[in-house]
Amino acid sequence: MLHRIDDTITLANGVEMPRLGLGTYKSAEGGDVEDAVAYALEIGYRGIDTASLYDNESGIGSAIAGSGVPRAEIFIASKVWNDEQGYDSTLAAFEASLARLGTDYLDLYLVHWPRPETPDTWRAMERLYADGAVRAIGVCNHLRHHLEPLISTADVLPVVDQYEFHPLLQQHDLLGYCEGHDIVVQAWAPLMRGRVAELATLVDIGARYEKTAAQVAIRWILQHGITTIPKSVHRKRIAENADVFDFKLTVEEMREIDLLDRGERLGAHPDHYPVG
Ligand SMILES: NC(=O)c1ccc[n+]([C@@H]2O[C@H](COP(=O)([O-])OP(=O)(O)OC[C@H]3O[C@@H](n4cnc5c(N)ncnc54)[C@H](OP(=O)(O)O)[C@@H]3O)[C@@H](O)[C@H]2O)c1
């Protein structure tokens, strides 16, 4: 387990998803995102996370097309944004994402935030899945009280919940709920948006293995069986964030990091989704 950058986890529907992928929020088109994706693919990353919100799907599509890596070996995830939710608008948003990415299918399509329209959005997601346009469907930022009604009415269950997860925000109840319902958790902001080095515990643990706090955070997430998508536009950091397969945190070290949980969010609360 956890030996290589392209290690995968099997989703509830049998699809293999890389445990570690590249995040691209705020990776700008026109140079940064193209280079980040091209370099990540070159060094072995196989998962790329984007969203229509990020306004970089075309750049990601060009980087993938120029990478020489077969499309079938790359796991591409995108998301339907808040103002695209609803049945017809989700179908249209999906087609637009496909066109920008230059692909004829997605590996994973996610509802970006829970919203009042999400039941209609989900019916569109189910249709895309049934049509074979997407290999797996899931959600982001869904807490238990968002997941429960979705699960009780869905024909196709979400197989992924991508939500904010890092040492200061662990939401163990939600994690347990997801694990109990075969929903793979994918951690966003795994590096606390660059602030992880402020945690002395992670810096100290890292020093024992000649690893950075960022590497310890990613390793800790992976050892919990959680998947993640750290973002960087810098080659050195893209490589650093994937250089986490040659050390293993002890049970005590895992526990030390578990104890840092303060329920502290860096992003929006899922009950107050960003508008726009
Ligand atoms: N579903 C959702 O609602 C949602 C919300 C937020 C994010 N996401 C996804 O999750 C991904 C990750 O989350 P995130 O981008 O918010 O935060 P993150 O991955 O925790 O942190 C990214 C920040 O950390 C810096 N960084 C990267 N590697 C580093 C390293 N080794 N040492 C120090 N700093 C480092 C990056 O700067 P540089 O780029 O300058 O290196 C960037 O400022 C996103 O990119 C996106 O794909 C999803």
How is residue 238 written in tokens? 């893209």
H/E element holding 80? Answer: strand 75-80
Q: How far is CA 241 from CA 100, 123, 265, in A?
A: 27, 36, 22
Å from CA of 97 to ligand 1 middle: 21
pLDDT score of 46 more than 60: yes
Q: Specify if 161 maps to a domain.
A: yes
Q: Specify if 77 maps to a domain.
A: yes
Query: Measuring from atom 32 of ligand 1, which residue has the nearest CA?
Result: 214
Q: Specify if 266 maps to a domain.
A: no
Output the pTM of the full model. 0.98
Q: What is the 3-state secondary structure (H, E, C) of 199-210?
A: CHHHHHHHHHHC
Active-site residue list: 54
**Domain span at 173:** 8-258
Q: How confident is the model at residue 37, as a pLDDT?
A: 98
Q: Specify if 247 maps to a domain.
A: yes
Å from CA of 127 to ligand 1 middle: 31
Q: Specify if 50 maps to a domain.
A: yes
Q: Does ligand 1 have an atom closer than 6 angstroms to the CB of 265? A: no
Residue 142: CATH number of its domain: 3.20.20.100
CA 79/CA 167 separation, integer angstroms: 25
The total number of structural domains that make up the chain: 1
Q: Does ligand 1 have an atom closer than 6 angstroms to the CB of 33? A: no
Q: Does ligand 1 have an atom closer than 6 angstroms to the CB of 193? A: yes
Q: Specify if 186 maps to a domain.
A: yes
Burial class (CB in 10 A: 0-12, 13-18, 19+), 93: buried
Q: Specify if 271 maps to a domain.
A: no
Å from CA of 230 to ligand 1 middle: 5
Q: How confident is the model at residue 231, as a pLDDT?
A: 98
Q: Region 114-128: what's the mean pLDDT? A: 97
Q: Specify if 3 maps to a domain.
A: no
